Amino acid sequence: MKSDNFSRNKVHFCYNIEHVRSIRRVDPRIEETILFIKNRFREKSHYSFDDWTIMYGHSVNTLKYALSLTEGSSMDKTVVGITALLHDIG
């Protein structure tokens, strides 16, 4: 099992909000949802195979993919983004 320090460093490097901002300007509600899922997966590590970074990273990657699908469309990017982030919250 990975130490919390390793997980924190991995997440900081790969999946922090600044990384998501570099792809698209992030609505504050999406930022709040990112922090919510991060805390939820940390609290309920069994959702993430006892490593909260797995599902957190998956959710952020799903956000990036979902937002890319909205390019050139009239879809509400905030709704799509929040939905993508929350799709695995139990």
- Tens digits of per-residue pLDDT, 41-77? 888 877 778 888 888 889 999 998 998 898 899 999 9
Note every long-range contact of 49-52, with CB atoms under 8 Å and residues 24 or more positions apart, other chains counting. Answer: 50/1, 51/1, 51/2, 51/7, 52/7
Tens digits of residue pLDDT in 23-45: 556 688 988 899 999 999 888 87
**pTM given for the model:** 0.72
| pLDDT over 50 at 2, yes or no | no
At residue 5 the predicted structure's pLDDT band, cuts being 50, 70 and 90, is very low
85, 30 in Cβ contact below 8 A?
yes
